[in-house]
Structure 1
């Protein structure tokens, strides 16, 4: 639609300029001058070539300066040269030729020298040769600026799209971490308890294990529903992607871990929410992995802090029972490392010499004050 409108406007402008040149040729026609009719006809018809061959058009219109008073065709041709050329020297030469052609008293046009002074003729000649050139260059600059603005807008749109894609990727990564951290703990415990139930003989312990599985299933379902609700909330409401635990519920996590865990040390009270959440998720993932890959092993959770850093170290012993075959892609540990990187901290993990496994989280900490020892 825009191309069709642009073509129609271009056709209307060409028609108007051609009509103006014809009118000027008719008004300035002098049948007594030799070659007047031929030069005027050639100049007007040459305007049909002005968009494709501007230099040829200008050359064909120049004779009218010597044999006729019709000057509109020359002005239009010079304007087209100025609008298309990028060489200022060529444009200056064309403008000078037009100005000289206008100022020189050609045979049969001696009455043009009857001006009050030569200075006035020179000024008119300069204006005659300079005005179309300046107008053509102005239109060219406008087109260049429009093209640059279009490119800038396209670049900004592309940049906004890249930013949106980056934000979406970060949100997906965060959602993946939260989904793993929130659900993996309960689901892996359900799998472990179900495996125990499968090999346990009927009895009171079987009933307790079944009750544990039911409670874990209800808790997992509640957390999934909560996450789905948060994802459906309007973007105008500031919410987090998942429940945000703190260190206050760490004893509950340890008590429900299904393995023997010892907690050592404390963290300072002024640790921010993001730091507490990172510590909680690290303990949760480490205990989940210990339960999945080291059945029967005990674990130790060491909370520590000094004047510049804080963190947690979770160490589990070697397994004492056969390991159940459970799926694992180490996404949890990768997510914990990404979480630590976002907080300018580090996460290291690896096996211990006695066959166990250790996860160590270290985060920067800048308290407002220190308690005296």
Structure 2
């Protein structure tokens, strides 16, 4: 037997069927002359309450009313339930035959003698009983087949979706592997050459400013190479096993960031050490982007970084003076400020920027310290 299937409207449906069975008993006027018939009919009606948990037992309890009365609604419902919940065809056929025999016996009750098959008129009760037995049988099997077909369709859909995800992951893994090769073969090689040339310039030059600039270039190149190697490792391992992500920056890394920027910067911070990590990362990325833009667009400028918290609001301001020499034309994605604004909006804050009257530039980040994380 299949395990009972519980539906949200199951109890209400059972109660409605019991009421319909009792109405069937009343319509056929069962029990007027034989109280035993009424007892059998009431037992059949009550047995419908157990048809979901014990379909076979419920059917057996409804058989007496089919044998002694013509109120067979409860028996038909029990037979339908049994047919919709069992895969064993032989016991199901036996139950249907039992119902047909009981129903056919009632036609000749109280002399339970089967109709003479040579009499065509006698075939009417036989055909009627067989039809009554096969109708709920076939209907229950049809409902069972439909239910199982729906389950199979769901399983097929889930299997196809899983296959699609696996295919997408395979394509993504191939693309990441190709990207890792390109980064390793092209980008890493070029950055390595930059680091080597900067080191040679640092050693061979006698100009202190040139030596300092070369040292900064070499330091940044080495850091870039380390990050590239880590990214290549993540891309190559993607899809095979979880990888350890690069440690995310915090406010403690601001001083190292400013020192390695190669820009004369005045850094002043007045913040507690227990700020949420997303807020610390937002401050770090804002200062990092501002210093990068200063190097690209305001060579020779000095910078001022102020980070403080007042009245539940964190403010990070990066300003720079006017450039002292022409800016070089460098490639850029022009997505830095957009990314900063999106990060700030996720934290409930804002990022603003403006040109200063003296030719400088200001970038300001404002975040609610207790805002959404």
Q: Secondary structure at the match of 1:366?
A: coil
Provide, for residues 234-255 of structure 1, a one-character-per-residue CA deviation record: whole Å limited to 9, x for no partner: 7655622x33222112112112
- The offset of 1:202, in angstroms, is 6.7
Q: TM-score, normalised by structure 1?
A: 0.50
Shift of 1:286: 1.1
Q: How many equivalent pairs are there?
A: 236
Task: Give 1:269-288 correspondences, 5 Å limit.
Answer: 269-288=273-292
Higher relative contact order (CA 8 A, sep 6+): 1
Q: Which residue does 2:18 correspond to in 1?
A: none
Equivalent residue number for residue 110 of structure 1: 119
Query: Does the 8 Å CA contact 2:267/2:304 hold for their aligned counterparts?
Result: yes
The answer for the alignment partner of 2:252 in structure 1 is: 248
Q: Structure 1 regions of 5+ residues with no counterpart?
A: 1-98, 115-120, 368-373
* 2: CA distance, partners of 1:307 / 1:239: 37
Q: 1:226 to 1:139 in 2, by over 3 A?
A: same
Aligned pairs for 1:183-202 (under 5 A) are: none
1:133 pairs with 2:135: yes
> 1:215 and 2:224 equivalent?
no
Q: Partner of 1:365 in structure 2?
A: 369
Change in 2 beyond 3 A, CA 1:203/1:229:
same
2:323 is aligned to: 319
For residues 159 and 318 of structure 2, the distance between their equivalents in structure 1, rounded to whole angstroms, comes to: 47
In structure 2, runs of 5+ residues without a counterpart are 1-102, 108-114
Change in Cα spacing, 1:128 to 1:233, as seen in structure 2 (3 Å) is same
Partner of 2:100: none
Q: What is the DSSP-based 3-state SS (H/G/I as helix, E as strand, rest coil) of the residue aligned with 2:299?
A: coil
1:356 CA displacement: 3.4
**Is the Cα contact below 8 Å between 2:353 and 2:364 reproduced in 1?**
no
Could you give the per-residue CA deviations for residues 92-112 of structure 1, whole angstroms, max 9, x where no partner exists?
xxxxxxx9xxx9xx9984177
C-alpha distance in 1, partners of 2:166/2:266?
45
Residues 269/204 of structure 1: CA separation in 2 closer, same or farther (3 Å cut): closer
Structure 2 CA distance for aligned equivalents of residues 337 and 276 of structure 1: 15
Instruction: Give yes or no for contact 1:351–1:357 (8 Å, CA) kept in 2.
Output: yes
Shift of 1:204: 4.4
Mapped partners of 2:340, 2:261: distance in 1: 19
Counterpart in 2 of 1:142?
144
Deviations 1:106-163 (A, max 9, x none): 998417739xxxxxx85x5454113333233233323432343244345556776689
1:221 is displaced (CA, Å) by 1.0
> Match for residue 349 of structure 2?
346
Offset of 1:353 from its aligned partner? 4.2
Task: Evaluate the alpha carbon distance shift between residue 156 and residue 333 of structure 1 in structure 2; reply closer, same or farther with a 3 A threshold.
Answer: farther
Instruction: Determine the structure 2 residue equivalent to 1:262.
Output: 266
- TM-superposed CA distance for 1:335, in Å, is 2.7
Q: Displacement of 1:283 after TM fit?
A: 0.7
After superposition, the Cα gap between the structure-2 partners of 1:156 and 1:125, relative to the gap in structure 1 and judged at 3 Å, is: same
Structure 2: distance between partners of 1:125 and 1:351:
94
- Kindly state the Cα deviation for residue 314 of structure 1 after the two structures are TM-superposed: 2.0
Task: Return the offset for 1:302.
Answer: 2.0
- Output the aligned Cα RMSD: 4.5
Residues 86-125 of structure 1: matches in 2 within 5 Å? 109-110=118-119, 113=122, 122=125, 125=127
Give the SS at the match of 1:265.
strand
CA contact (8 A) 1:227 1:243 kept: no
Paired with 2:166 and 2:270, the residues of 1 have a C-alpha distance of 40
Contact map agreement 1:303 1:312 (CA 8 A) in 2: yes
Inter-partner Cα distance in structure 1 for 2:343 and 2:312: 19
SS at match of 2:274: coil
Moved more, 154-163 or 280-289: 154-163
Could you say what secondary structure the match of 2:131 adopts? helix
Q: Note the 1:155-174 alignment, pairs <5 A.
A: 156=158
